[in-house]
Amino acid sequence: MITVRGLTKYYGSLPAIQDVSFDVAAGEVLGFLGPNAAGKTTTMRILTGYMPPSGGKAVVAGYDVVEHSLEARRHIGYLPESVALYPEMSVRAYLEFMAALRGVGPARRRKQRVDEVMARCQVAHMADRPIGKLSRGYRQRVGLAQALVHDPKVLILDEPTVGLDPAQIIEVRDLIRELGRDHTIILSTHILSEVEHVCQRVMIIHEGRIVAEDTRDRLRARLKGGELLYVEIAGAPSEEITVGLLSLPHVQDVRPLGDNAYQVTCTLGSDIRAGLAQFVVQKGWQLLELRRERISLEEIFLQLTSDEPRPDQAPAGR
């Protein structure tokens, strides 16, 4: 549904994005992750036709965003980061205006569609309120409604949950997840848990370049380098426990964390929990806790966007 190759954008002599390439299949939800000023908004603005790229090309719903900008735009619903709406218009009036502009018609169908979308985004009870009088959360929902009103194939959402309270965030996230079933969505955020809950694939962008791109789970696996176990063992001095754990098969490293806790690194793909438990019991120690540790998206994000080289780093896939 979306194909991007070698997208580059310079602001003057400063590169905002360089050589960005990715694909999004129909019905997929792609998470676009990156620190501020990484290039997320720039990429989205190029896809939505707000500005042309300095180089490279992008095709949305079969239309090149530069050559056939008008057609491409017809198939896109866009929620920009700023969610700037006309403050003097009522919610309903604004949505009807945007719907008409995007070709939803005739008038009766438009009205019906606006009602549908207001209900879906839960702003129906604010329908006649001027947008300028709405709270940030409601304005965001109206923005989302505007992106949906013409039922586009593609949704491009720039930081859709920023500024919302936790309850609203959950609602928007659920809505996006629901929409993901029959829309293609690109969602940008710097809230990592959002990507965790909503997206099937994740793309991490840093300083204008894509530094990682894969499904959520594979990304985690690639960066782990090994399985991590967290154990709490009491009943012996920590040096003895450490040595003992190191003797187990598949164990690569043991790190005492204090307070009877240890982090055990095992080879990728192994699961030594049963063996470890037996071993601890045989030795007469007390096993207080045993659990698998997953490397969080946070850690992936920080690892990939920090500027320090990491020992296990191969150029993360483009």
Partner 1 sequence: MRNAFLIARRELEAYFISPIAYVVTAAMLVVLGYFFSVILFVTRQASLRPLFGGSALIVLLFVLPLLTMRLLAEEQRSGTIELLVTAPVRDGEIILGKYLASLAFYLLMLVPTLYYPVVLEVFGRPDWGPILTTYLGIILLGGSLLGVGTLASALTSNQIVAAVLGVGMALLLWLIPSLAGFVSGPLADVLQYLGLSSHIADFAKGIIDTRHVVYHLSVIAASLFLATRILETRRWR
Q: Which residues bind to partner 1, rule: CB under 8 A?
A: 11, 45, 48-52, 70-71, 73-74, 76, 78, 80, 82, 84-86, 88-89, 93, 97-98, 100-103, 146
In the bound state with partner 1, the residue whose beta carbon lies nearer, of 130 and 256, is 130
In this structure, which amino acid lies at residue 236? A
The nearest distance, CB 100 to partner 1, in angstroms, is 5
The nearest distance, CB 221 to partner 1, in angstroms, is 37
Cβ burial, residue 210 (10 Å; 0-12/13-18/19+): buried
Instruction: Please state, in angstroms and rounded to a whole number, the distance separating the CA atoms of residues 245 and 216.
Output: 31
If we measure between CA atoms, which residue out of 200, 203, 221, 199 comes closest to residue 213? 203
Instruction: Please state, in angstroms and rounded to a whole number, the distance separating the CA atoms of residues 196 and 161.
Output: 14
In the bound state with partner 1, the residue whose beta carbon lies nearer, of 99 and 266, is 99
In the bound state with partner 1, the residue whose beta carbon lies nearer, of 79 and 297, is 79
In the bound state with partner 1, the residue whose beta carbon lies nearer, of 69 and 252, is 69
The nearest distance, CB 197 to partner 1, in angstroms, is 27
In the bound state with partner 1, the residue whose beta carbon lies nearer, of 83 and 164, is 83
Q: Is 215 helix (H, G, I), strand (E, B) or coil?
A: strand
In the bound state with partner 1, the residue whose beta carbon lies nearer, of 44 and 300, is 44
The nearest distance, CB 23 to partner 1, in angstroms, is 22
In the bound state with partner 1, the residue whose beta carbon lies nearer, of 45 and 201, is 45
The nearest distance, CB 6 to partner 1, in angstroms, is 19
Alpha carbon of 28 to those of 136, 185, 218: distances in Å? 28, 6, 16
The nearest distance, CB 89 to partner 1, in angstroms, is 8
Half-sphere exposure of 63 (CA within 13 A, CB side): 18
Q: In what order do the strands lie in the sheet with 76-79?
A: 76-79, 154-158, 184-189, 29-33, 201-206, 209-215
Query: First vs last Cα of the chain: how many Å apart?
Result: 19
The nearest distance, CB 137 to partner 1, in angstroms, is 18
In this structure, which amino acid lies at residue 282? Q
Neighbouring residues of 309: CB distance < 8 A, sequence distance ≥ 6: none
